A and B are shown apart, each in its own frame.
Chain A
C-alpha cells in the first residue's frame, strides 16, 4: 500500500484549483444549458448560492436547518423596506452590483444576528427536533411579518407585500453582478471552511457531536458560527433575488425554498465543496427541462426523482464520484 505520507498530499496552502474548476463548470454549464437571459442567470446563480449557504450548517455540521428560508424572507423584507423607506439606501443600491451588496449586507447582517441569537439556543436541539424548531422559527417569523408588515407599509396593506416602485428598481445586470459576487464568495467560503480547523471541527460534530466535544471541539460556538454564516449568505441571496423580482411577499418564507436548497445539496453531495455547485447545475437543468417538456407535472416528477436519489444514491454525485481514482489520484481529494 505504500507509505501514507506519500499518498496523502498536503492540500493545505496549495492554490485553489477547485475554485477555478468551479467557475469553469459554472460558465460552461451556463452555456450548455442555454442560460441566456439575465433573469435566468440570476436564478441560476441564486440556486447555487442558497445551496452553498445551507451546505455550511447542514452539509458540514450535519444540522438540517429546515426553516432556513426564514433568512431568505428576513433578508428580502429588510432589504425591500430599507430601499423603499430610506432614500440614501436606495441611492446607494443604485450605483450597481457593489451598492446592492452593501445594502444587502446590512439586511443580511440583521438576519445573521437573528441566527446568532436564536442559534445559540435552538442548536442545543438535535436531529429532527432541531429541524422542527427551525420550521417553527420560519412560521413564527412569517406570521409575525404577515401581522406587522401591513402596518409598517400601509400603502400596500394586503398580503404583507412590499412591491417596489419603479424608482427603487435596478438594472438586471446589476442584480446579476451582485448575485454572482455572492455566489463566488459563498463558494470560496465553503472551500476555506472545508480546509480549515473550523471545518474539520464542524464535520466532527456531524459525525459524533458528543465525541467531538470530549475531544476538545467547542461544539456550541462552532455550530452557532456556522449557522450565522449560513444565515448571512442565505439572507443576502434572498435580498438580491427578491429585488430582482421587483418586490417581496410572504411567499419568501415558503418551505419550498428550503426544499430547493436541500434537493440541490442532496443531488450534489452533502458536505462537499463542489456538491452545491454540481447539484445546483443539475437541479437548474432538471427544473428547466421538466418545466419546458412537462409543464404542470414537472414538480411531481421532481419529487419522485428526489425520493429515488435519497433511496438509491444518498451520497449524491460527488459521493459516488469520490470513490473512484484517476491515475492514482483519488477524486475524493479533488472534489472535496
Chain B
C-alpha cells in the first residue's frame, strides 16, 4: 500500500511539474532577458485561464478558440505592459542596476494587486472551471494502478508542445537569436545592429503571451480556479526559474519537473510517516526550502556554468 501511494503521488507530481515548467517559461524570459522581476506572474497566468473559462461558460466557445484568444490577449497585454510600465524603467537602460530591478519588482506587484482585485470584483471568488469538458474524451485514464485525469495528461502534452515551440523560436529564428544576444549583453547587441528596445518589447509580448497561454494548462489541471490560485503559482514559478537558471527556458521546464517530483515524493513520505492531512502543505514547504538552498549554493541554477 505504501509503495502504490508513492507511485500515485509521484505520477501526479510529475504531471503537475510539467505544467508548472511550461507555465514558468514566461517568467524566466522576462527576468533573464530584461531583469524584470514579474511578481504578477500568477495573476497574468490567470488572465488566460479566466478568458478561456469566460468564453466557454458564457459564450459557449470551444476552449480551443479560447486557447488562441488567450495567446492573442497575452501578446496585446504584453505590449501594454511594456509601453505602460516597463519601457520607462528598463527600455533605454544598458545595464539594469539593483535599484531598477527593485522598481520592476514593485511595479509588477502593483499590477498584481490591481489584477487580483479585478478578479475578485469582476469575476468573484467562487471557483470557475471548464466543468465536464475534457477534450471530448473519458474523464480519466488508467495507467496500471494509477488513475489520472484526462485533462491533466493532455495539459501536460500541451505544455510540452508550448515549451518545444518556445525553444525553437529562441534557437532557430533570427528574433530568438536577437533575444538571446540582448540577454547576454545588451550593449554588444546594439553594436551589431540589434535594436534593444524592439527586442525588449517583443520579449515582453512573447513572455506574457506564453504565460497567458499557459493559463489554459492551469485551468485544465486545477479543474477550477479562484483569484487566490495565483498566490501558489507565482512563488512556485520563482522556485522553478531559479532552479533552471535565469533565461533558460529548457532549464525552467526541467526545473518544473524536478519540483513536481520533489513535491509528489515528499507528499507521499509525509503522508505515510506523519499524517496525510499535513502532507500537502509540508510538501509545498519543501519546494521553498529547495529554493533557498539553490539560491545559496547554486544561484546560477542547476544547469548553469
A307 contact from B111, B118, B282, B285, Cβ within 8 A: B111
Whether B292 pairs with A140 at a CB distance below 8 angstroms is yes
**Which residues of chain A from 101 to 139 have any CB-CB distance to chain B below 8 Å in the complex?**
121-122, 124-129, 131-133, 135-137, 139
In this complex, how many residues of chain A approach chain B with their Cβ under 8 Å: the count is: 48
A122 to B35, CA, bound (A): 20
Tell me if A27 is interfacial: C-beta within 8 Å of chain B: no
Whether B238 pairs with A147 at a CB distance below 8 angstroms is no
Tell me if B102 is interfacial: C-beta within 8 Å of chain A: yes
Whether B98 pairs with A127 at a CB distance below 8 angstroms is yes
**Chain B residues within 8 Å of A296, by CB:** 121
B102 contact from A127, A142, A256, A259, Cβ within 8 A: A127
A266 contact from B39, B106, B121, B288, Cβ within 8 A: B106
A124 to B37, CA, bound (A): 19
Task: Give, as a whole number of angstroms, the nearest-CB distance from A305 to chain B.
Answer: 8
Chain B binding surface, main DSSP class:
helix
Whether B295 pairs with A143 at a CB distance below 8 angstroms is no
A303 contact from B111, B277, B295, Cβ within 8 A: B111
User: 1/0 per position for B100-112, CB-CB distance to A under 8 A?
Assistant: 0111011101111
Task: Give, as a whole number of angstroms, the nearest-CB distance from A257 to chain B.
Answer: 12
Tell me if B169 is interfacial: C-beta within 8 Å of chain A: no
Tell me if B85 is interfacial: C-beta within 8 Å of chain A: yes
Whether B295 pairs with A128 at a CB distance below 8 angstroms is no
Tell me if B284 is interfacial: C-beta within 8 Å of chain A: yes
B117 contact from A64, A137, A300, Cβ within 8 A: A300
A132 to B239, CA, bound (A): 8
Which of B85, B89, B110: most chain A CB closer than 10 A?
Answer: B110
A136 contact from B37, B278, B295, Cβ within 8 A: B295
**Which residues of chain B from 252 to 304 have any CB-CB distance to chain A below 8 Å in the complex?**
270, 275, 277-282, 284-285, 288-289, 291-292, 295-296, 299
A42 to B180, CA, bound (A): 51
A241 to B88, CA, bound (A): 38
Whether B296 pairs with A124 at a CB distance below 8 angstroms is yes
Whether B291 pairs with A133 at a CB distance below 8 angstroms is yes
Task: Give, as a whole number of angstroms, the nearest-CB distance from B138 to chain A.
Answer: 34
Closest B residue to A308 by beta carbon equals B110
**Chain A residues within 8 Å of B101, by CB:** 127-128
Whether A133 pairs with B292 at a CB distance below 8 angstroms is yes
A306 to B107, CA, bound (A): 7
Contact (A303, B117) CB under 8 Å given A133-B291, A143-B281: yes
**Chain B residues within 8 Å of A148, by CB:** 278, 282
Task: Give, as a whole number of angstroms, the nearest-CB distance from A190 to chain B.
Answer: 20
Whether A143 pairs with B282 at a CB distance below 8 angstroms is yes
Whether B102 pairs with A64 at a CB distance below 8 angstroms is yes
- Write 5 A-B pairs (CB below 8 A) sorted by A numbering: A128-B102, A147-B285, A148-B278, A266-B106, A303-B111
A-B pairs, 5 with minimum CB distance = A303-B114, A143-B285, A303-B113, A140-B288, A147-B282
